[in-house]
């Protein structure tokens, strides 16, 4: 995308809401692409998956049974959580403890679905996510699994970022620095998606949601394609 066109998009939305909702499966590039889109649009950024991971970390470290839905829901209400909303820095804190790296550990990745599929906990975290969107005057890129349909169905731009299973496994492997074998990668990517799809559909675009398949695109090409989608959708207004 040319700088001139990007500037025109930013100018078009000065003082106006611009929520870009991006959903997609594990390894599709949601976080890195969404963060860069937010940076270029000069708006806030929210990784909702980090919130579920933070709650999972809290439950695991405090000994809460992840199968006890009532206990997990209560933990979600009690959770003292701080999460970055800037695309230029990353931090997640639980009760003042920096858990930015800890929530990405394999043990948390393998447990997060149990928390994410607890409906009471989802309801509480969705409430917090909506509060953060409003706090930033509805100028934010929000990424996750149910953003386009549940968290922000009225977003100005709604997008499903997807990729082939092969591409997603390869990217997640690179992200983890080759520290996990094929079976562990599959557990993180495809198995988790299968569990989470029991409560939310993030593999097929809902009505009005634009699909971006990044299977054959590199990072810069994917970011440019996402910004082109933003431009086209906004120009329809």
For residue 32, say whether it is annotated as part of any ligand binding site: yes
Rg of the chain over CA atoms, in angstroms? 17
Backbone torsions φ then ψ of 179, nearest 5 degrees: -85, -5
For residue 25, say whether it is annotated as part of any ligand binding site: yes
For residue 113, say whether it is annotated as part of any ligand binding site: no
Q: Tell me which DSSP letter residue 229 carries.
A: H
Backbone torsions φ then ψ of 41, nearest 5 degrees: -85, -10
For residue 27, say whether it is annotated as part of any ligand binding site: yes
For residue 232, say whether it is annotated as part of any ligand binding site: no
Do the bridges between strand 139-144 and strand 18-23 make them parallel or antiparallel, or are there none, so unpaired? parallel
For residue 49, say whether it is annotated as part of any ligand binding site: no
For residue 173, say whether it is annotated as part of any ligand binding site: no
For residue 26, say whether it is annotated as part of any ligand binding site: yes
- Residue among 20, 51, 233 at smallest CA distance from 140: 20
Q: Tell me which DSSP letter residue 103 carries.
A: G
For residue 110, say whether it is annotated as part of any ligand binding site: no
Binding residue ranges for ATP: 24-32
Binding residue ranges: 24-32
């Amino acid at each position: 995308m040319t700088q001139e066109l990007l500037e025109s998009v930013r100018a078009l939305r000065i003082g106006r809401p611009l929520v870009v909702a991006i959903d997609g499966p594990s390894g599709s590039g949601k976080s890195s692409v969404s963060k860069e889109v937010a940076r270029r649009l000069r708006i806030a950024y929210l990784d909702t998956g980090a919130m579920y991971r933070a709650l999972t970390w809290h439950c695991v470290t405090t000994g809460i049974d992840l199968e006890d839905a009532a206990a997990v829901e209560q933990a979600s209400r009690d959770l003292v959580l701080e999460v970055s909303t800037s695309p230029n820095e990353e931090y997640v804190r639980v009760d003042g403890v920096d858990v930015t790296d800890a929530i990405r550990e394999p043990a948390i990745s393998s447990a997060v679905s149990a928390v994410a599929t607890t409906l009471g906990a989802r309801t509480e975290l969705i409430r917090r996510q909506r509060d953060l969107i409003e706090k930033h005057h509805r100028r934010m890129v929000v990424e996750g699994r149910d953003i386009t349909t549940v968290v922000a169905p009225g977003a100005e731009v709604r997008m499903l970022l997807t990729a082939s299973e092969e591409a997603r496994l390869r990217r997640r492997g690179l992200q983890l620095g080759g520290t996990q074998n094929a079976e562990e990668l599959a557990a993180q990517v495809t198995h988790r998606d299968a569990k989470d799809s029991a409560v939310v559909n993030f593999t097929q675009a809902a009505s009005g949601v634009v699909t971006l398949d990044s299977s054959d695109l590199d990072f810069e090409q994917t970011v440019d394609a996402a910004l082109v989608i933003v431009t086209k959708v906004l120009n329809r207004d």
